[in-house]
Amino acid sequence: MSRIHEALKKAEREKAANLPAAERSTPALAPVAEDDLPVFTSKRLVAEPVQDSRITEGGVILRFEELVQRCTHPEWKADSALRISLAGDSGKIVAERFRTLRSRLYQIAGTRALRRVLITSSLPSEGKTFVATNLVRSIIRQADRRVLLIDADLRAPRLHAALGAPSTPGLSDYLRGELDEYAIIQNSVANNLCFIPCGSKVTNPSELLLSDRMKVLLDCVTPAFDWVILDSPPALPVHDASSLADLCDGVLFVVRAGETDHEAAKKASQEFREKNLLGVVLNQVEDSEGQGGYYYGHSDRK
């Protein structure tokens, strides 16, 4: 039985138990790698740092520092930016679980190309935005790692709220051809973190995400960063996540134990098996059954 299948079955058992959230222990993270991925040793593998020369514009090569100077610099609310929702010992456990997830991604990046990572789920309210923000938080604690976080959920965006950042201008404005990449990229809180919010509300999100401009944007900005993390819409209601997965190097699939229907999660995750599915992040699970080292927890939703 694959680890992903085990994770989905565990989520189903939690749901069947119908335990109130207050009675559960610290939520958890299932193993990230599937059985058919390489078996990693304990040796620390990290992605090669990107070079100083970055984005091209009209044949002129710009440095990352120039990108940061030219992008927007709105004020982010420090009290809400990239915060893990648990405090005390539980918060320390949460942070450690995200460090574990970060290390697993570095291990995979040491064996093949892995720079663009899509984070999705089968349905809303399973924790994908929380995973995206706190994975980024873990990565940027390393000062030499440059990260771009993109809110590609044009239907129900939440990343700007998690960061305390403006929601506009953003991705939709670029995809409609109204602005260039420098006008939509924000830089604040930490110099090595940039953010592209969702942008103005649109009536044709799928068409915009499928447009050539989405690929052009990713191809343009990716060389400037060690990691590009995209938060996408859930996979079952719309096709956006599947389309975005074709533009990414890997997919993390988020499941909320006790709430996500097993068949729904199985159906949604199956779609990404041919699209570099990295593994399943299992939320709101009791820290049991011997999986301790691969867990994280949170109490927020989305």
Q: Which residues contact 3 (CB under 8 A, 6 or more apart)?
A: 30, 31, 33, 34, 35, 279, 280
Q: What is the pLDDT of residue 92?
A: 76
More confident call, 25 vs 220: 220
Q: What is the pLDDT of residue 35?
A: 41
pLDDT digits (tens, 9 = 90+) for 163-188: 999 999 999 999 999 999 999 999 97
How many independent structural domains does the chain possess? 1
Q: What CATH number does residue 126 fall under?
A: 3.40.50.300
**Beta bridge partner(s), residue 56:** 61
Q: Considering the domain boundaries, does residue 192 fall inside one?
A: yes
Q: Considering the domain boundaries, does residue 301 fall inside one?
A: no
Q: Considering the domain boundaries, does residue 215 fall inside one?
A: yes
Whether residue 268 has pLDDT greater than 80: yes
Residue 35 and residue 85: Cα distance in Å, rounded? 31
Tell me the average pLDDT across 113-135. 92
Whether residue 150 has pLDDT greater than 90: yes
Tell me the average pLDDT across 18-31. 43
Whether residue 32 has pLDDT greater than 50: no
Residue 260 tokens read as 């996500």
Q: What is the pLDDT of residue 299?
A: 34
Q: Considering the domain boundaries, does residue 302 fall inside one?
A: no
Q: How confident is the model at residue 96 (pLDDT cuts 50, 70, 90)?
A: confident
Q: Which domain holds residue 24?
A: 3-294
Whether residue 82 has pLDDT greater than 70: no
pLDDT digits (tens, 9 = 90+) for 183-194: 999 997 667 999
Residues 24 and 284 sit within 8 Å (Cβ to Cβ): yes
Token look-up 């900005």 returns: 221
Q: CA 117, 108, 48, 144: dihedral to nearest 10 degrees?
A: 60
